[in-house]
Amino acid sequence: MAVDFEPKILAFCCNWCTYTGADLAGQSRMKYPENVRVVRVPCSGRVNPQFILRAFRRGADGVLVCGCHPGDCHYATGNYFTRRRFMLMRELLEFNGVDPGRFHARWISGSEAAKFRDTVSEVTRTVKALGPNERFQEASGEES
């Protein structure tokens, strides 16, 4: 594994909590690793497991899904579905040979800028330690 390996991590963030929290981290000039790219979605409940599989297939080294805290969902119940879905998701990924350390789901509210920073840092560290994601990419091949 290359020492200077810089993973690319994709983060799905809900518009109302985590995306706002990430913005707040910026407004507070917090610093975190550059490895994360955020895709804005209305709700973590919008994140189809298909999106995550696609990211891994394309070569994502890590995927993070973030939403409002359970009970705080802007859409009342969306994140409960997220929670259930991604408990299954982790097992599915493991079954497919993706280290579960590459996939994380977290609840970060609009005021938890520091938690966003810490989560991104921690996930980056974890994924860095795991090295580049090659297995799933190779095993599944390119999709037309």
Partner 1 sequence: MSKVGVFVCHCGTNIASALDVFKVAEAARALPGVAHAAEYKYMCSEPGQQLILDAINEHGLKRVVIASCSPRMHETTFRKMLKKSKINEYLLEIANIREQDAWVHADFEKATEKAIDLVRMAVAKALKDEPLKAQTIPITKRALVIGGGIAGIQAALDIADAGHEAVLLEREPSIGGHMAMLDKTFPTLDCSACISTPKMVDVGAHPNITLLTSAEVDAVKGYIGNFTVTIRKKANYVNHDICTGCGACEQKCPVKTDSAFNRGLSKRTAIYKLFPQAVPSKPVIDAESCLKLKNGKCGVCEKVCPLGCIDYGDEDRLVEMDFGAIIVATGYRPAKWQRMYDEYGAGRYADVIDGLQFERLVNASGPTEGHIARPSDGKAPKTVAIIKCVGSRDPKKGHAYCSRACCMAAAKHAHQLIDKLPGSRVFVFYIDVRTPGKGYEEFYDQTRKDGAVYVRGRVSRIYKEGDTLVCQGEDTLLGKQVRVHADLVILETAMEPSPGSGALLGLLGCAKDADGWVTEAHPKLRPVETQVGGVFLAGACQGPKDIPDTVAQASASAAKAIGLLNKDEMETSPMIAKIEEDKCSGCGACGPICPYKAIALEKIPARDPGTGKKIERLVARVNAGLCQGCGACTVACRTGAIDLLGFRNNQILEEVDALWL
Shortest spacing between CB 131 and partner 1, in angstroms: 17
- What residues line the site for partner 1 (CB under 8 A)? 8, 10, 15, 19-20, 22-27, 29-32, 34, 37-43, 45-51, 54-55, 58-60, 73-78, 81, 85, 117
- Using the minimum distance from each CB to partner 1, give the nearer residue, 28 or 96: 28
Separation between Cα atoms, residue 27 and residue 109, nearest integer Å = 15
- Using the minimum distance from each CB to partner 1, give the nearer residue, 80 or 101: 80
Distances (CA, A) of 35 to 13, 57, 128: 15, 18, 10
The torsion defined by the Cα of 27, 6, 62 and 125, in degrees rounded to 10, comes to -70
Shortest spacing between CB 126 and partner 1, in angstroms: 19
- Using the minimum distance from each CB to partner 1, give the nearer residue, 1 or 143: 143
Neighbour-count burial of 2, counting CB atoms closer than 10 A to its CB (0-12 exposed, 13-18 middle, 19+ buried): exposed
Shortest spacing between CB 38 and partner 1, in angstroms: 6
Shortest spacing between CB 43 and partner 1, in angstroms: 4
- Using the minimum distance from each CB to partner 1, give the nearer residue, 59 or 100: 59
Residue 29 gets the label, from left (phi > 0), alpha (psi -120 to 50) or beta, of: left
